[in-house]
Amino acid sequence: MLDLTVIPATDTRLPAEPFRGRHLIGGTWVEGAETFGRRSPSHGVVVSHSALGTAADAEAAIAAARRAFDAGDWSRAPAKSRAEVLTRVAALIEANVDRIALLETLETGKPISQSKGEVSGAADLWRYAAALARTLHGESHNTLGTDILGVVVKEPIGVVSIITPWNFPFWILSQKLPFALAAGCTCVIKPSEMTPSTTVMLGELLVEAGMPAGVVNIVLGYGLPVGATLASHPDVDMVTFTGSTGVGKGITAAASGTLKKVALELGGKNPQIVFPDADLDSAADAVTFGIYFNAGECCNSGSRIILHEDIAADFTARVVALSRKVAFGDPLHPDTQVGAIVTPQHRDKIDAYVKAASAAGATVALGGTALQVPGLAGEFYQPTVVTGVTPDMAVAREEVFGPVLSVLTFRTADEAVALANDATYGLSAGVWSENVHTCLDLARRIQAGTIWTNTWMDGFPELTFGGFKQSGTGREIGSYGLEEFLEVKTLCMRIGRSRANWVRA
Ligand code: NAD
Which string of b and e fits 53-89 if b means at least 16 CB within 10 Å? bbeebbbbbbbbbbebbeeeebbebebeebbebbbbb
Ligand 1 geometric centre to CA of 373 (Å): 28
Report field, pTM of the whole predicted structure over 0.85: yes
> What is the CATH class of 271-453?
alpha beta
> Residue 1's pLDDT band (boundaries 50, 70, 90)?
low
Question: What is the pLDDT at residue 498?
Answer: 78
Query: pLDDT digit string (tens) for 207-254?
Result: 999 999 999 999 999 999 999 999 999 999 999 999 999 999 999 999
Please report, for residues 172, 251, 383, the alpha-carbon distance to residue 477 in angstroms, rounded to integers and kept in the order given: 10, 21, 31
Query: pLDDT-based confidence at 178, cuts 50/70/90?
Result: very high
Q: How far is the CA of 505 from the centre of ligand 1 (A)?
A: 64
CATH code for residues 19-266+471-489: 3.40.605.10
pLDDT tens digit sequence for 361-370: 999 999 999 9
Ligand 1 mutation target, pool 172, 299, 465, most atoms within 8 A of CB: 299
Separation between Cα atoms, residue 468 and residue 322, nearest integer Å: 31
pLDDT, average across residues 56-83: 98
Does residue 8 surpass a pLDDT of 80?
A: yes
Q: What is the per-residue pLDDT for 9?
A: 96
Minimal-distance CA residue to ligand 1 atom 40: 265
Return the H-helix or E-strand segment holding 317. helix 309-325
User: Can you tell me the mean pLDDT for 440-466?
Assistant: 98
Q: Which residue's CA is minimally distant from atom 9 of ligand 1?
A: 192
pLDDT > 90? residue 313: yes
Beta strands in 394-447 (DSSP E): 404-410, 425-426, 428-432
- Best of 110, 192, 233 to mutate for ligand 1, by most ligand atoms within 8 A of CB? 192
CA of 259 to the centre of ligand 1 (A): 21
Question: What is the pLDDT, as a whole number, of residue 140?
Answer: 98
Mutate-to-test residue for ligand 1 from 247, 299, 401, 463, highest number of ligand atoms within 8 A of CB: 247
Res. 500: pLDDT tops 90:
no
Q: Looking at beta carbons, which pairs linking 65-70 to residues 24 or more positions away fall under 8 Å?
A: 65/159, 65/186, 65/187, 65/188, 65/214, 65/215, 65/217, 66/159, 66/186, 66/235, 67/26, 67/214, 68/26, 68/186, 68/212, 68/213, 68/214, 68/215, 69/156, 69/158, 69/159, 69/185, 69/186
270 has pLDDT over 90: yes
Please state the rounded mean pLDDT for residues 170-181: 98
List the residue whose alpha carbon is closest to atom 16 of ligand 1.
223
Cα separation, 267 vs 399, in Å, equals 7
In the structure, which protein residues have their CB atom closer than 6 angstroms to any atom of ligand 1? 163-168, 172, 190, 192-193, 222-224, 227-228, 231, 242-244, 247, 250-251, 265-268, 299, 399, 427, 467, 471-472
Instruction: List, in sequence order, every residue forming a beta bridge with 143; answer none if it has no partner.
Output: none
CA of 261 to the centre of ligand 1 (A): 18
Mean pLDDT of 52-57: 98
Please write the tens of the pLDDT for every residue from 32-42.
999 999 999 99
Q: Where are the domains of the chain?
A: 19-266+471-489, 271-453
Q: Above 90 in pLDDT, residue 499?
A: no
**β partners of residue 23:** 30
- Domain 19-266+471-489 and domain 271-453 have a common topology: no
Give the mean pLDDT of 468-494. 98
pLDDT at 27: 98
What is residue 335's predicted lDDT score, i.e. its pLDDT?
98
- The pLDDT of 72-88, averaged and rounded, is 98
Over residues 368-426, the pLDDT tens digits come to 999 999 999 999 999 999 999 999 999 999 999 999 999 999 999 999 999 999 999 99
Q: Write the burial class of residue 480 (CB in 10 Å: 0-12 exposed, 13-18 middle, 19+ buried).
A: middle
- Which DSSP category does 398 fall into? S
pLDDT greater than 90 at residue 200 = yes
For range 260-281, the mean pLDDT: 98
Query: Which residues are identified as catalytic?
Result: 265, 299
Distance CA 413, CA 406 (A): 19
